Amino acid sequence: MPNLKEKLFQKIKEWRPRTTKLVKEHGKVKIDEVTIEQCVGGMRDIKSLVTDISYLDPQEGIRFRGFLIPELLQRLPKVPGGDMPYVEGLFYLLLTGDVPTKAECDEVAEEFRKRAAVPQYVWDVLRAMPRDTHPMTMFSAAVLAMQRESVFAKAYDRGINKMDYWDTTYEDALNCVAKLPEIAAYIYRMKYRGDTIIAPDPKLDFGGNFAHMMGVPKPYDDVSRLYFILHSDHESGNVSAHTGHLVSSALSDMFYALSAMLNGLAGPLHGLANQEVLRWIQGVMTKMGGKVPTEDEMKKFVNDTLDGGQVIPGFGHAVLRKTDPRYAAQREFCEKHLPNDIIFKYVDMLFKVVPPILLARGKAKNPWPNVDAQSGVIQWYYGVREYDYYTVLFGVGRALGVSANIVWDRALGYALERPKSVTTEMLENWAANPKTAVAAGA
Ligand code: HAX
């Protein structure tokens, strides 16, 4: 058994009694209540999911296994010759909760390498799709097509003990994640680079190999590492993570769950916002004839968008109430590597202009930029200008966190998800007489 799996099993055995004890001895302790506004409004803030892999605080932002982003980037072992950590190291941390050594990163890299070969039928599926299919649809279809590879599904058919679900789920996680960089790069080269596919280089790490297969020179390897790490996890309630968790709660395997996760990520209010930011900026640039607008001109573009009943992509968040630290980390990268880039200047100006406008309008609870406001700029600068593709990069990263969560879901025996719905009439009756709502257990 590889060290990672052994260590994970050890952690699982230690953790299981905590969950069991909570449910058995304290199962009826109340931790939240639900209002009509939350019921109609997308279940905002209702505490009803458990994960120990990451936690999102509205003020300080995401912590991965307890580490804020700057700490994380500092603590994880760095790839020799680069400034960024191993993606493999992040995956090790998410799964086990321990910061890996360089040797442990190498071990995960070797595990991925052994499992990286993509079956020919995946390429056939992608090639059968019209070339103008959205790259997220292609990515999701490729992952779904591989469902026949699921080790968990085969083991379940044979009949396995619940306590062992995590083992084959872990195998599926590694088998699937290992293939994502090549699938993602293949989609890019097939669709946007005249079908000139670049073969993987097995000597390279996860991020380095992805950059190589994209055909983009250094420091795009570091860009990819940073990108995959920042997008990996954002606790469990966001649409992509929650979708992965929900689908796998029916014991649908990793391939079904990750494909569904990608479909959720492909919405413009979620991961697709990164392409929308670039689309919006390009629209402004066209109108400005390529010049950077003055602040007053930019304010007008922002107000026109809002008056047209549209959102400003890249701003706002359902949980965060401050500038997203994932935005800040990418901004720091831009300041170092592309301080004079024209699109970076646009994004920076939006950082000044948008929040006061959103605040003055009084609707958005968080006027500050989120992860998607800054990410496209970096891709554009390094020549990946087909912005429809950006959410695929987000998807490769998010698969790391969602798959790690699903392994733990199975290890701790998290239940089938089944919240209760009510009717509008029930809500109206409870609104008229709140006491009956409580009596009905609503
Ligand atoms: N532009 C205009 N209006 C906005 C806004 C924005 N950037 N952000 C929020 N609002 C509006 C909402 O549309 C909502 O309006 P209605 O009452 O008319 O429905 C109101 O302000 C209150 O919304 P909220 O409670 O502050 O925010 P939500 O939790 O409902 O939504 C969103 C959070 C991220 C979806 C929202 O801020 C948004 O649409 N932002 C733009 C799209 C975007 O950048 N999405 C990516 C978010 C990060 C992420 O998940 N990345 O993958």
Average pLDDT on 348-370 reads 96
Q: What is the pLDDT of residue 436?
A: 81
The pLDDT mean for the chain works out to 96
Q: What is the pLDDT of residue 292?
A: 86
Ligand 1 proximity of 319 Cβ (cutoff 6 Å): no
Q: What is the pLDDT of residue 201?
A: 98
Atom of ligand 1 minimally distant from the CA of 314: 44
Ligand 1 proximity of 273 Cβ (cutoff 6 Å): yes
Of 126, 131, 128, nearest in space to 142 by CA: 126
Average pLDDT on 14-32 reads 97
Task: Write down the CATH superfamily of domain 273-381.
Answer: Cytochrome P450-Terp, domain 2 (1.10.230.10)
Average pLDDT on 327-347 reads 94
395-416 pLDDT tens trace: 999 999 999 999 999 999 999 9
Among protein residues, the one whose CA lies closest to atom 30 of ligand 1? 318
Atom of ligand 1 minimally distant from the CA of 239: 50
Among protein residues, the one whose CA lies closest to atom 2 of ligand 1? 311
Average pLDDT on 368-384 reads 96
Among protein residues, the one whose CA lies closest to atom 34 of ligand 1? 317
Among protein residues, the one whose CA lies closest to atom 50 of ligand 1? 270
Ligand 1 proximity of 359 Cβ (cutoff 6 Å): no
67-109 pLDDT tens trace: 999 999 999 999 999 999 999 999 999 999 999 999 999 999 9
229 within 8 A of 84, measured Cβ to Cβ: yes
CA of 29 to the centre of ligand 1 (A): 33
Catalytic residues: 270, 317, 372
Ligand 1 proximity of 271 Cβ (cutoff 6 Å): yes
Among protein residues, the one whose CA lies closest to atom 21 of ligand 1? 364
Among protein residues, the one whose CA lies closest to atom 32 of ligand 1? 317
Q: What is the CATH number of domain 1-26+42-269+395-442?
A: 1.10.580.10
Ligand 1 proximity of 219 Cβ (cutoff 6 Å): no
Question: Phi/psi at 98 (nearest 5 deg)?
Answer: -110, 140
1-26+42-269+395-442 and 273-381 in the same fold:
no
pTM score, two decimals?
0.96
Q: What is the pLDDT of residue 438?
A: 63
Which pair of structure tokens corresponds to residue 222? Answer: 């570091």
Is the model's pLDDT at 1 over the cut of 70?
Answer: no
CA of 366 to the centre of ligand 1 (A): 8
Domain ranges in the chain are 1-26+42-269+395-442, 273-381
Percent of the chain with pLDDT over 70: 99
* Residue 219: cis peptide before it, omega within 30 degrees of 0: yes
Average pLDDT on 382-402 reads 97
CA of 344 to the centre of ligand 1 (A): 22
User: In sequence order, which residues have a C-beta less than 8 Å from that of residue 158 and are 6 or more positions away?
Assistant: none
Ligand 1 proximity of 37 Cβ (cutoff 6 Å): no
Is the model's pLDDT at 441 over the cut of 90?
Answer: no
Ligand 1 proximity of 365 Cβ (cutoff 6 Å): yes
Ligand 1 proximity of 311 Cβ (cutoff 6 Å): yes
Among protein residues, the one whose CA lies closest to atom 37 of ligand 1? 316
* 26 vs 34: CA distance, rounded Å: 20
* 426 vs 162: CA distance, rounded Å: 38
CA of 105 to the centre of ligand 1 (A): 37
Is the model's pLDDT at 388 over the cut of 60?
Answer: yes
Average pLDDT on 389-394 reads 98
Ligand 1 proximity of 238 Cβ (cutoff 6 Å): yes
Of 53, 66, 141, 142, nearest in space to 96 by CA: 53
Of 318, 438, 313, nearest in space to 387 by CA: 313
Ligand 1 proximity of 208 Cβ (cutoff 6 Å): no
CA of 301 to the centre of ligand 1 (A): 18
